[in-house]
């Protein structure tokens, strides 16, 4: 049974969502402020966190920053309708997805299952899935990665993007496909988020012997993770 942590100061909404999710087979814990929630969210006792951005004492963006300092637990944000700034900030900090409030319990449950499937946590425990692409080894279940046998520190967003490229190593992947596979949604026009995160991943991987990046770009088309031999 997957354990969900609901962090929201709207007690009425939290109660409604909890009742629905329990009926859907989830184990649900709740917290109504950031300071109370931080210990639960980073304790490795939950499989996924639902985080409201508008929180008392510690807002959702600050709480997400603190969670990401010590945990890779998936995080689904609850954001105000049309608040693109908070969504972008949250995704850049490693949130896995967002849902606009007000949201239906059914939509929330579906989004939670989609994220859990993507990170290999659904069905109880962590799925023993390993991706090997040359010097890169990725463990989607634990959201851990190694480069040349050494730990590779990635944010949640960076991990999702690199996982798509690793599963398609040696092949050009369009930015639209990267967005759909990594985040489950189409890429919006003029959205440069993927480019920014790919740039960060490139720096962490370093360069090849020929001085070029391990991640090649084709202008206007997409990105490709190279094999060792290429």
Q: What is the DSSP string of 47-110?
A: SEEEEESS-SSS-HHHHHHHHHHH----EEEEEETT-HHHHHHHHHTT--EEEEES--HHHHHH
Asked if residue 111 and residue 13 are part of one domain, the reply reads yes
Q: What is the pLDDT of residue 127?
A: 45
Q: What is the pLDDT of residue 39?
A: 84
Domain boundary among 119, 143, 178: 119
HSE-CB of 19 using CA atoms within 13 angstroms:
6
Q: What is the pLDDT of residue 120?
A: 65
Domain membership of residue 230 (yes or no) is no
Asked if residue 47 and residue 142 are part of one domain, the reply reads no
Asked if residue 102 and residue 71 are part of one domain, the reply reads yes
Asked if residue 152 and residue 104 are part of one domain, the reply reads no
pLDDT digits (tens, 9 = 90+) for 153-212: 887 778 888 999 999 999 999 999 988 888 777 777 777 778 888 998 999 999 998 889
Domain boundary among 54, 84, 119: 119
Q: How many CB atoms lie within 10 A of CB 23?
A: 10
Domain membership of residue 25 (yes or no) is yes
Domain membership of residue 176 (yes or no) is yes
Asked if residue 70 and residue 162 are part of one domain, the reply reads no
Domain membership of residue 77 (yes or no) is yes
Q: Please, what is the average pLDDT of the chain?
A: 84
What is the percent of the chain where pLDDT is above 70? Answer: 93
Nearest CA to 64 among 82, 78, 44?
78
pLDDT digits (tens, 9 = 90+) for 104-119: 888 898 889 888 877 6
Q: How many CB atoms lie within 10 A of CB 118?
A: 19
Q: How far is CA 36 from CA 29, 40, 87, 125, in A?
A: 12, 8, 23, 25
pLDDT digits (tens, 9 = 90+) for 73-96: 889 988 876 667 877 888 778 888
Can you give the CATH number for the domain in which 211 is found?
1.10.10.10
Asked if residue 83 and residue 10 are part of one domain, the reply reads yes
pLDDT of 124 above 50: no
Structural domain containing residue 67: 3-119
pLDDT of 121 above 70: no
Global model pTM greater than 0.85: no
Asked if residue 141 and residue 35 are part of one domain, the reply reads no
Asked if residue 141 and residue 101 are part of one domain, the reply reads no
Least reliable range by pLDDT among 44-48, 101-105, 139-143:
139-143
Domain boundary among 75, 98, 119: 119
Asked if residue 141 and residue 62 are part of one domain, the reply reads no
Q: What is the pLDDT of residue 179?
A: 85
Domain membership of residue 24 (yes or no) is yes
What is the percent of the chain where pLDDT is above 90? Answer: 30
Domain membership of residue 126 (yes or no) is no
Domain membership of residue 49 (yes or no) is yes
Nearest CA to 226 among 158, 148, 174, 170?
170
**Does residue 81 contact residue 100 with C-beta atoms inside 8 Å?**
yes
Q: How many domains does the chain have?
A: 2
């Amino acid at each position: 049974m997957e354990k969900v942590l609901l962090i929201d100061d709207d007690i009425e909404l939290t109660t409604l969502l909890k009742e629905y999710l329990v009926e859907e087979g989830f184990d649900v814990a709740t917290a109504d402020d950031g300071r109370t929630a931080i210990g639960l969210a980073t304790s490795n006792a939950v499989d996924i966190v639902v985080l409201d951005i508008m929180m008392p004492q510690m807002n959702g963006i600050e709480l997400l920053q603190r969670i990401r300092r010590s945990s890779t637990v998936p995080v689904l944000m609850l954001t105000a309708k049309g608040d693109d700034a908070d969504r972008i900030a949250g995704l850049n900090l490693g949130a896995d997805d967002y849902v606009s409030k007000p949201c239906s319990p059914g939509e929330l449950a579906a989004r939670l299952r989609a994220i859990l499937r993507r990170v290999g946590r659904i069905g109880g425990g962590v799925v023993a899935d390993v991706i090997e692409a040359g010097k890169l080894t990725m463990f989607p279940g634990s959201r851990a990665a190694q480069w040349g046998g050494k730990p590779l520190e990635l944010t949640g967003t960076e991990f999702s993007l690199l996982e798509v490229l690793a599963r398609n190593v040696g092949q050009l992947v369009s930015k639209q496909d990267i967005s759909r596979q990594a985040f489950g949604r189409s890429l919006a026009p003029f959205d440069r988020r993927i480019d920014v995160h790919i740039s960060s991943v490139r720096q962490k991987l370093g360069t090849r012997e020929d001085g070029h990046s391990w991640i090649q770009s084709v202008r206007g088309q997409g990105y490709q993770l190279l094999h060792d031999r290429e």
